[in-house]
Amino acid sequence: MLSKPLSALTAETLECCGVTAALDVEGGMQVVSPVTGEVVAALATHSTADAARAIDTAAKAFRDWRLVPAPRRGELVRLYAEELRKSKDELGRMVSIEAGKSPSEGLGEVQEMIDICDFAVGLSRQLYGLTIATERPGHRMMETWHPLGVVGIITAFNFPCAPWCWNAALALVCGDPVIWKPSEKTPLTALACQAVFERAIARFGDAPDGLSQVLVGGPELGEALVDSPKVALISATGSTRMGRIVGPKVAARFGKCILELGGNNAGIVCPSADMDMALRAIAFGAMGTAGQRCTTMRRLFVHESIYDQLVPALKKAYASVTVGNPLESSALVGPLIDKAAFDGMQTALKEAAELGGSVHGGQREAVEGEAAYYVKPALVEMPEQTGPVLRETFAPILYVMKYSDFDPVLELHNDVGGGLSSSIFTTDLREMETFLSARGSDCGIANVNIGTSGAEIGGAFGGEKETGGGRESGSDAWRAYMRRATNTINYSSELPLAQGVVFDID
Element (H, E) at 488: strand 482-490
Q: Could you give the 3-state DSSP secondary structure of residue 198?
A: helix
Size of interface with ligand UN1, in residues (CB under 6 A): 11
Task: Give me the 68-97 binding string for ligand UN1, x by CB under 6 A, dash otherwise.
Answer: ------------------------------
User: Do the beta carbons of residue 120 and residue 80 sit within 8 Å?
Assistant: no
Is residue 453 involved in binding ligand UN1 (CB under 6 A)?
A: yes
Query: Residue 377 Cβ, how far from ligand UN1 at the closest point, in Å?
Result: 16
Q: C-alpha angle with apex 204: 165 to 16, nearest 5 degrees? A: 60
Which residue, 216 or 455, has its beta carbon nearer to ligand UN1? Answer: 455
Taking the least distance from each CB to ligand UN1, the nearer of 111 and 385 is 111
Complex with ligand UN1: residue 199 or 293, whichever CB lies closer: 293
Stretch that binds ligand UN1, among 6-14, 78-86, 157-165, 388-396 (CB under 6 A): 157-165
End-to-end Cα, the chain, rounded Å:
91
The residue count of the chain comes to: 506
Considering only the stretches 134-142, 158-166, 199-207, 391-399, report the one whose residues sit in contact with ligand UN1 under the rule CB under 6 A.
158-166
Toward ligand UN1, which CB reaches closer, 290 or 382?
290
Alpha-carbon distances of 454 from 30, 181, 194, 365, 433, rounded to whole Å: 30, 24, 24, 26, 22
Residue ranges of E strands in 91-138? 131-132
* CB-neighbour burial class of residue 231 (10 A; exposed 0-12, middle 13-18, buried 19+): buried
Q: Does 396 bind ligand UN1 (CB under 6 A)?
A: no
Q: In the chain, how many H helices and how many E strands? A: 14, 23
In the list 7, 13, 33, 158, the residue contacting ligand UN1 (rule: CB under 6 A) is: 158
Closest CB to ligand UN1 among residues 112, 176: 112
Q: How far is the CB of 63 from ligand UN1 (least distance, A)?
A: 32
**Under rule CB under 6 A, residue 422 binds ligand UN1:** no
Nearer CB in complex with ligand UN1: 163/357: 163
Shortest distance (Å) from residue 95 CB to ligand UN1: 12
Cα distance between residue 93 and residue 273, in whole Å: 37
Residue 163 or 177: the one with the smaller Cβ distance to ligand UN1 is: 163
The yes or no reply on residue 481 touching ligand UN1 (CB under 6 A) is no
Question: What does the alpha-carbon distance between residue 374 and residue 362 come to, in Å, rounded to a whole number?
Answer: 10
* Residue 434 binds to ligand UN1 (criterion: CB under 6 A): no
Residue from 455, 460, 477, 482 in contact with ligand UN1 (CB under 6 A): 455
260 in catalytic set: yes
Q: In sequence order, what are the beta bridge partners of 424?
A: 268, 448
Q: Closer CB to ligand UN1, residue 87 or residue 237?
A: 237
User: What stretch of H or E contains 178?
Assistant: strand 178-181
- Report the relative pairing of strands 418-419 and 358-360 from DSSP bridges: unpaired
CB atoms under 10 Å from CB of 26, counted, come to: 7
Tally of CB atoms within 10 A around 82: 14
Beta-carbon contacts of 460 under 8 Å, excluding residues fewer than 6 positions away, are 444, 471, 472, 473, 474, 475, 476, 477
Task: Write each residue from 238 to 277 as x if it is in contact with ligand UN1 (CB under 6 A), else as -, in one continuous string.
Answer: ----------------------------------------
User: Within 92-121, which residues bind ligand UN1 (CB under 6 A)?
Assistant: 112
Site string for ligand UN1, 165-204 (x = CB under 6 A): ----------------------------------------
Burial of 445 (0-12, 13-18, 19+ CB in 10 A): buried
Q: Which of residues 284-343 bind ligand UN1 (CB under 6 A)?
A: 293-295
Which part of the chain contacts ligand UN1 (CB under 6 A), choosing from 56-64, 265-273, 431-439, 451-459?
451-459
Cβ pair 230, 150 in contact under 8 A: yes
CB of 109 to ligand UN1, least distance (A): 8
Burial class (CB within 10 angstroms; exposed 0-12, middle 13-18, buried 19+) of 349: buried
Catalytic residue among 83, 109, 260, 368: 260
Task: Assess 235 for contact with ligand UN1 (CB under 6 A).
Answer: no
Nearer to ligand UN1, 116 or 200 (CB): 116
Q: What angle do CA 413, 99, 113 make, to 5 degrees?
A: 80
CB of 433 to ligand UN1, least distance (A): 23
Does residue 454 bind ligand UN1 (CB under 6 A)? yes
Q: How far apart are CA 100 and CA 158, in angstroms?
A: 9
Taking CB under 6 A as the rule, does residue 163 contact ligand UN1? yes
Q: Rule CB under 6 A: choose which of 45, 124, 237, 441 binds ligand UN1.
A: 237
Choose between 23 and 297: whose C-beta lies nearer to ligand UN1. 297
CB of 112 to ligand UN1, least distance (A): 6
Is position 394 an interface residue for ligand UN1 (rule: CB under 6 A)? no
Binding residue (CB under 6 A) for ligand UN1 from 159, 164, 197, 435: 159
Contacts of 327-330 with CB under 8 Å at 24 or more apart are 327/2, 327/6, 327/9, 327/35, 327/93, 327/96, 327/97, 327/103, 328/1, 328/2, 330/102
Residues forming the active site: 260
Residues that bind ligand UN1 (CB under 6 A): 112, 158-159, 163, 237, 293-295, 453-455
